[in-house]
Amino acid sequence: MLHLSSIRKIFFGCADRRQMFRMFDRHAQRPNRWDADASALYAGEWFEIDAVDHDYMFEILPPLWMRGDMFAMREFLTYSVTSVFFALTIDGRVRHFHGYCDLSDRGSAERMRTAIIDRETRPVKAMTRTERLDHIWSATHDDYRGYAGDRWPEPSRGKRTITVYGGSWGTTLKLLDDLTDHEISAKLPVHLRYLPVAIAA
């Protein structure tokens, strides 16, 4: 099951280099990895990085293109989806971001730029339920996350799964989307745990 494309923040805080490289392919465990176009799974994902890693990625290869405060990687992740890196002035400070854009859609990079600025200039710090789940998925080691396979009921197959601690029941595997508010809170770092729940834009 592939998730539909939408522009979405998948990690809160500034990712370090190790986290950045992990999130470049955070869906590597998906079923039938080599059999289908995964563009919809990656396109629209974005997160913050630091200036050193932004510049490091710029120097790896000559960019496919540069436009003002953004550049695109020459190597594509899947079909027409590639990394676009941004250096955006937000509240008087330059911040850096990575996003996956589908370049078959000519306006995708500009729309992502606008969405990042909009998300990062909101006056109230809050997270939607989807953002909480995406942060948990991004921050969880591959050994403790995966995708529902043939042993799951048909409607659940291909959905993301995650290991949760069930107290006296021990650990169990659960669909990411089925986590309770308590389970979500337990998996978030303390500085994100008590942010208000935002209504999805």
Q: What tens digit of pLDDT does each residue of 124-149 get?
A: 678 889 999 999 999 999 889 989 98
**Containing domain of residue 34, as a range?**
8-120
N-terminal to C-terminal alpha carbon distance within the chain? 24
Written as six digits, the tokens of 123 are 């006056």
Least confident of 29-38, 80-89, 184-193: 29-38
The residue among 85, 120, 155 that closes a domain is 120
Nearest alpha-carbon partner for 88 in 112, 108, 106, 104: 112
- If asked whether residues 111 and 189 sit together in one domain, one would say no
- If asked whether residues 116 and 63 sit together in one domain, one would say yes
Higher pLDDT: 116 or 195? It is 116
To 10 degrees, what angle do helices 129-139 and 17-24 make? 110
- If asked whether residues 166 and 87 sit together in one domain, one would say no
- If asked whether residues 37 and 91 sit together in one domain, one would say yes
Q: How far apart are CA 196 and CA 70, in angstroms?
A: 31
Residue 4 predicted with pLDDT over 70: no
The helix or strand, by DSSP H or E, that contains position 65, with its residue range, turns out to be strand 65-67
Residue 70 predicted with pLDDT over 90: yes
Whether the model clears a pTM of 0.95, i.e. scores above it, the answer is: no
- If asked whether residues 101 and 135 sit together in one domain, one would say no
pLDDT interval class at 123 (50, 70, 90): low
Written as six digits, the tokens of 27 are 């869906």
Give the pLDDT score at 102: 93
> Quick check: is 188 in a domain?
yes
- If asked whether residues 187 and 146 sit together in one domain, one would say yes
**Contact yes or no for 38/4 (Cβ under 8 A):** no
Residue 107 predicted with pLDDT over 80: yes
